[in-house]
Structures are given as structure tokens and as C-alpha cells.
């Protein structure tokens, strides 16, 4: 039996691919599958608009996974009947004052230097595309290839696809630790005793580092990074915006974004906070989100506020995922996806299930093995 610890988008996606291939696979979640970061996310699939200095190694992986999304969504619809609201209107990043616009021009040249397919729009052109944008918008970058999904529907679809393909889902079962014998994985431990297994995929999101029994050399350096979000409700037939829109941030919200879903929910995110496992909403966080969103899209003022929540991104030391084998035979990692776990889900599912079945590390995930952190330390000595 293959044991997957964590039933978020990573664990369920890998489990689905393994079950489809006829493997005996069980996903364990200490709560209800899909209800942590996977539920809290905004569902953006935007490697171009989110490309940042220092994350160049991540870009090819992110672009590869983005290219897999259309088929992934179609396959989920075909096997479960659940439409995950894959939308292809693209993503826009706007500048609101002269400072912003100049900064955005620099980002635009950076995007171009990476060979990304992006377009510069004047304020007028940006408003032609999205007429409800504030008059202050003075310029924008449009990325036609950056899309989005409804991540909550993805979780629901993956859960059902996994079980229909023959996978076993055990919810409300916390895995306390991993046991080893002669240096390799031999079992997982629960409060009710141990379960024998020689293959464990650790996909426990922000909690991955906390699992008991892990040899130090195999413990992924993952920490929680809090994100607060709010949602307002638009008229689904008359949405204020059609595409995802990013704008300038402020303090605890480094950049504001708006992600409109087909059911009229408009997600506004997100704070980025080093607060451990705290997921309390704060007045300051919610105020910043609403104020920044209102600056960019004044029409939200009269919309009903329908939800507010916070989630924990599983962040690694270099903000890239940690994928593949560890020095402990039988222990495989699929964690540390930070702010890109929805985007990277199709690729993670394929690459990790291939590794479990064939034992070979695919070329896409080679730069994202756990041993890169050890190499970085050695290089700095
Ligand atoms: C506010 C916010 C906005 C985001 N927006 C986006 C976005 O627009 N696009 C994007 O690509 N990504 C986004 N992300 C990131 C994305 O949500 C995560 O990278 C992704 O969901 C991680 O998936 P996961 O399966 O690794 O973790 P999770 O979804 O957190 O799942 C981990 C699971 O493991 C379980 N678990 C933990 N410990 C144990 C244990 N000991 N035993 C059993 N089960 C255990 C938990 O209960 C949980 O269900 C966002 C994240 C946040 C917080």
C-alpha cells in the first residue's frame, strides 16, 4: 500500500494518478480533505504575471504545469461531472499612479527579458478591456496566457475522481509519525497504532515539517505563511471584471489581486504574514485588502461582503516546491508549493506518481529535490 499523508490538492492529485494506474493507494487527512490551503487559495494560474526576480528556476516548471491545466480540468469534468471553472480571460497587472506605472514598466521589461508573452496597455486600453477599473489606472501589463480555476471545485472534483478510480480516502486520521526499519520507511503511526507501508508520500502542506519520526536529513524545511482573504458577491450576469487583476500593495498586502469566479464571487487577496500557524483574521488585514481593492475597482463599494478567511501557504526556504525522493528510501516529498500549489498541481501529480511507479526523477523536478538546500549550505561554506 502506498500511503499519502495529506489530502490537499497535492496529495489528492498524486493519489488520483496512482489509483488510475491501478496502484493500492490511501490518502490520509487529519481533517476533511481539501479544506486547508487548497480551499483558502484564489485559484490563479499566473506564472507570467507573478514572475519575480530570484525565482527564475521556478518559471519553466510553472509554465509546464500551466500548459497542463486545460486538459487536467477537462479530464476532471469528464470523470466526475464537476466543472472546475477553468477560465481563460487572462490576467492584468495595473499601475495606479506615476510611481506604480514606472515600476510596472520595469517589471514589463523584466517579463520581456524572460521571453514571456505579455503586452503593454495604456490606461485607456486597460479600461477598454475592463471598463470598471479606476480612472487612476495609468498603465497595465496584460498576460493573455495566465488563467484561473475555482480551487474549491478542483478539490471536490479530485476527491471524487480519486475515490472513483479506486483510491481509499481516510479522513479525520492524523498521521503522527513515520517509522523506519534498517534506514527505510516501514510504517506510518496513528493514535490507534501503526500501519505497515514501504512507500510514503509526504504532502501535508504547511505541516509537513512537523511529522514525527522523520530523520533530520529528510525533514523538509517548510513553514506556514499566512494569507488573509475576503470575497464580495457580484451579479454573475453583470460581473465588474472578467479577468484576474493585480494591483499595487501596501505593507502586509505586498500586491493586491482580484479573482472573479463564474458564480459571481470576487476573491480579494491576500496578506502575506509570518505568523506561525495562526489563522485569525485581523481588522488591519481586512481593511488593507478592501482599501487596496477599492482603489483599483471602486465598484466593489456597494457589493455584499460574503466571506473572509485565512489560510497557510506551505513555504520553503527558496519559495519553490520540494519534490521527489529523500535520503530515507521510501519517503517521497510533495510539499513547499508556497503560493503556487494550485498552478503546480497537474505537474506535481504526474511527476510524483511517475516517480513512485518507475523510481526515476523526471527532468522537470530535478532542480526541486530536497538535496538542493544541502548543496546551498555547502556552497556557502
Ligand atoms: C491565501 C492563499 C492564496 C493562494 N492563492 C493561490 C493561487 O491563486 N494560486 C496557486 O497556485 N496557489 C495559491 N495558493 C497556494 C496553494 O493554496 C498551496 O500551495 C496549495 O494548496 C498547497 O497544497 P497542499 O496539498 O500541499 O497543502 P494543503 O492544501 O494545505 O493540504 C495539506 C493537507 O494535509 C493535511 N495534514 C497535515 N498534517 C497532517 C497529518 N499529520 N496527518 C494527516 N493529514 C495531515 C491537512 O489537513 C491538509 O488537508 C494560495 C494559498 C493561500 C493560503
Choosing from 12, 41, 194 the residue with most ligand 1 atoms within 8 A of its CB, the one to mutate for a pocket test is 41
Using a 6 Å cutoff on CB, does residue 154 contact ligand 1?
no
- The answer to whether the predicted template modeling score (pTM) of the entire model surpasses 0.85 is yes
User: What pLDDT, on a 0 to 100 scale, did the predictor assign at position 63?
Assistant: 98
In a domain, 85, yes or no: no
Nearest CA to ligand 1 atom 44: 29
In a domain, 86, yes or no: no
- The helix or strand, by DSSP H or E, that contains position 371, with its residue range, turns out to be helix 371-380
In a domain, 183, yes or no: yes
Residue 177 and residue 36 share a domain: yes
Q: What is the pLDDT of residues 197-243, one digit of tens each?
A: 999 999 999 999 999 999 999 999 999 999 999 999 999 999 999 99
Q: Please answer whether residues 304 and 159 qualify as being in contact, where contact means their C-beta atoms are separated by less than 8 angstroms.
A: no
| C-alpha to C-alpha distance for 278 and 266, rounded to whole angstroms | 25
Residue 276 and residue 156 share a domain: no
Domain count, the chain: 2
| Count of positions (residues) in the chain | 381
Q: Please answer whether residues 324 and 333 qualify as being in contact, where contact means their C-beta atoms are separated by less than 8 angstroms.
A: yes
Q: What is the pLDDT of residues 50-78, one digit of tens each?
A: 999 999 999 999 999 999 999 999 999 99
Residues spanned by the domain of 308: 91-146+224-315
Q: What is the pLDDT of residues 326-337, one digit of tens each?
A: 999 999 999 999
Residue 257 and residue 354 share a domain: no
User: What pLDDT, on a 0 to 100 scale, did the predictor assign at position 374?
Assistant: 85
User: Hunting for cell 505579455 — which residue is that?
Assistant: 118
Burial 190-229 (b: 16+ CB within 10 A, else e): beeeebebebbbbbbbbbbbebebbeeebbbebbbbbbbb
Binned at pLDDT 50, 70 and 90, residue 381 comes out as very low
**Mean pLDDT of the residues in the chain:** 97
Residue 310 and residue 248 share a domain: yes
Using a 6 Å cutoff on CB, does residue 41 contact ligand 1?
yes
In a domain, 348, yes or no: yes
Tell whether the torsion through CA atoms of 170, 16, 345 and 35 is positive or negative.
negative
Amino acid at each position: 500500500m502506498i500511503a499519502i499523508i495529506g489530502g490537499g490538492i497535492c496529495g489528492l492529485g498524486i493519489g488520483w494518478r496512482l489509483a488510475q494506474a491501478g496502484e493500492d493507494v490511501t490518502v490520509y487527512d487529519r481533517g476533511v480533505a481539501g479544506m486547508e490551503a487548497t480551499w483558502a487559495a484564489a485559484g490563479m494560474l499566473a506564472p507570467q504575471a507573478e514572475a519575480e526576480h530570484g525565482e527564475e528556476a521556478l518559471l519553466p516548471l510553472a509554465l509546464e504545469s500551466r500548459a497542463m491545466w486545460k486538459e487536467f480540468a477537462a479530464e476532471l469534468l469528464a470523470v466526475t461531472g464537476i466543472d472546475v471553472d477553468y477560465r481563460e480571460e487572462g490576467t492584468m497587472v495595473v499601475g495606479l499612479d506615476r510611481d506604480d506605472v514606472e515600476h510596472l514598466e520595469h517589471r514589463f521589461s523584466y517579463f520581456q527579458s524572460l521571453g514571456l508573452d505579455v503586452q503593454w496597455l495604456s490606461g485607456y486600453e486597460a479600461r477598454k478591456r475592463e471598463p470598471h477599473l479606476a480612472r487612476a489606472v495609468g498603465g497595465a501589463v496584460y498576460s493573455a496566457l495566465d488563467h484561473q480555476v475555482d480551487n474549491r471545485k478542483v478539490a471536490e472534483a479530485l476527491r471524487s475522481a480519486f475515490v472513483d478510480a479506486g483510491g481509499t480516502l481516510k479522513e479525520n486520521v492524523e498521521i503522527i509519525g513515520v517509522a523506519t526499519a534498517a534506514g527505510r520507511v516501514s510504517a506510518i503511526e496513528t493514535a490507534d497504532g501503526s500501519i505497515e507501508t514501504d512507500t510514503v508520500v509526504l504532502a501535508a502542506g504547511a505541516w509537513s515539517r512537523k511529522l514525527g519520526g522523520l530523520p533530520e536529513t529528510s525533514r523538509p524545511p517548510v513553514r506556514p505563511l499566512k494569507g488573509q482573504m475576503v470575497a464580495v458577491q457580484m451579479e454573475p450576469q453583470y460581473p465588474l471584471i472578467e479577468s484576474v487583476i493585480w494591483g499595487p500593495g501596501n505593507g502586509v498586502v505586498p500586491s493586491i489581486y482580484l479573482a472573479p469566479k463564474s458564480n459571481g464571487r470576487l476573491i480579494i487577496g491576500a496578506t502575506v504574514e509570518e505568523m506561525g500557524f495562526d489563522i485569525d483574521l485581523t481588522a488591519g488585514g481586512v481593511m488593507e485588502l478592501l482599501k487596496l481593492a477599492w482603489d483599483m475597482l471602486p465598484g466593489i463599494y456597494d457589493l455584499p461582503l460574503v466571506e473572509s478567511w485565512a489560510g497557510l501557504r506551505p513555504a520553503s526556504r527558496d519559495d519553490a516546491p520540494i519534490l521527489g525522493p529523500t535520503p530515507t528510501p521510501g519517503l517521497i516529498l510533495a510539499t513547499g508549493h508556497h503560493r503556487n500549489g494550485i498552478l503546480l498541481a497537474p505537474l506535481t501529480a504526474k511527476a510524483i506518481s511517475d516517480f513512485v511507479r518507475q523510481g526515476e526523477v523526471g527532468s522537470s523536478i530535478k532542480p526541486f529535490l530536497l538535496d538542493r538546500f544541502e548543496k546551498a549550505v555547502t556552497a556557502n561554506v
